């Protein structure tokens, strides 16, 4: 009984099909992306298809640290349930620990508040103080697109893409209210961070143990075949 309980604690719940990344996620717009590849790295594919590796105990070290920063009320909490310091003085003493070791830094601004876009440079600079240059993926995310007419959204996007180029960031425009581009954005973040972990392990010569419940696959046929066989075994 204790052994079963320990295994349940080590293993995350099974990933639903709605959360499975079937194909390598596309960028929001090629003009604002530094990652233009269309498929997984061959080493990542090999690791995902290795059934022996996939069924290793869950390795929490495969979890990537994503830091979300930006001005107060730009929509960070709606975008993701995150710890939002909002630049408050009482959090400054622990900000370094919050930023340190990030694989992904997401700088968020309000599409309807151009000042919050200008402030993203400062937020990124603050977050990068405790991280090595080129050590993480950087995203610039504009929220609340539903509050603006299309023409204004397009104008703000042009300004945002200029800043994204300076920051070496990938730009996305989203709406938490309507859900526009939200899933695509998080799939993109998850895919890039996941692949970076796998490739780093490969470079170090460490076997890429994917763990239970992993839903990132590059071969739809292999996944569906495995799912079908598992269902037959459980039913019969």
Q: Domain coordinates of the chain in residue numbers?
A: 18-54+63-235
Query: Residue 1: what pLDDT?
Result: 46
Query: Residue 18: what pLDDT?
Result: 77
Query: Residue 174: what pLDDT?
Result: 95
Query: Residue 49: what pLDDT?
Result: 75
Name the nearest CA neighbour of 214 among 200, 228, 226: 226
Residue given tokens 């970076």 in the structure block: 196
pTM: 0.74
Q: Please report, for the chain, how many H helices and E strands are present, in that order.
A: 10, 4
Helical H segments across the chain, by residue range: 2-10, 42-49, 51-54, 76-79, 95-99, 114-118, 120-128, 150-167, 182-204, 220-235
Q: Which residues of the chain have pLDDT under 70?
A: 1-15, 50-62, 80-95, 205-236
Topology of the domain covering 18-54+63-235 = Rossmann fold (3.40.50)
pLDDT digit string (tens) for 90-118? 555 566 778 888 899 999 999 999 999 99
Query: Residue 227: what pLDDT?
Result: 44
């Amino acid at each position: 009984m204790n052994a079963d309980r320990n295994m349940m604690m080590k293993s995350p719940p099974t990933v639903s099909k709605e959360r499975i990344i079937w194909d390598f996620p596309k960028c929001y717009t090629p003009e604002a992306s530094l990652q233009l590849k269309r498929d997984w790295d061959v080493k990542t594919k090999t690791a995902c298809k290795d059934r022996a590796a996939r069924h290793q105990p869950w390795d929490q070290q495969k979890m990537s640290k994503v830091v979300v920063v930006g001005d107060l009320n730009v929509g960070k909490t709606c975008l993701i349930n995150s710890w939002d310091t909002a630049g408050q003085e009482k959090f400054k003493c622990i900000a370094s620990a919050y930023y340190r070791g990030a694989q992904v830094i997401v700088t968020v601004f309000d599409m309807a508040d151009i000042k919050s876009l200008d402030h993203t440079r400062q937020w990124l600079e603050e977050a990068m103080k405790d991280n090595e240059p080129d050590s993480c993926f950087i995203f610039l995310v504009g929220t609340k697109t539903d509050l603006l007419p299309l023409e204004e959204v397009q104008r703000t996007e042009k300004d945002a893409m200029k800043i994204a180029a300076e920051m070496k960031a990938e730009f996305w425009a989203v709406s938490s209210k309507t859900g526009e581009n939200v899933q695509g954005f998080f799939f993109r973040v998850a895919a890039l961070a996941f692949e970076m972990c796998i490739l780093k392990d490969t470079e170090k010569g460490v076997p890429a143990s994917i763990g239970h419940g992993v839903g990132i696959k590059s071969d739809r046929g292999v996944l569906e075949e495995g799912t079908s066989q598992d269902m037959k075994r459980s039913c019969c």
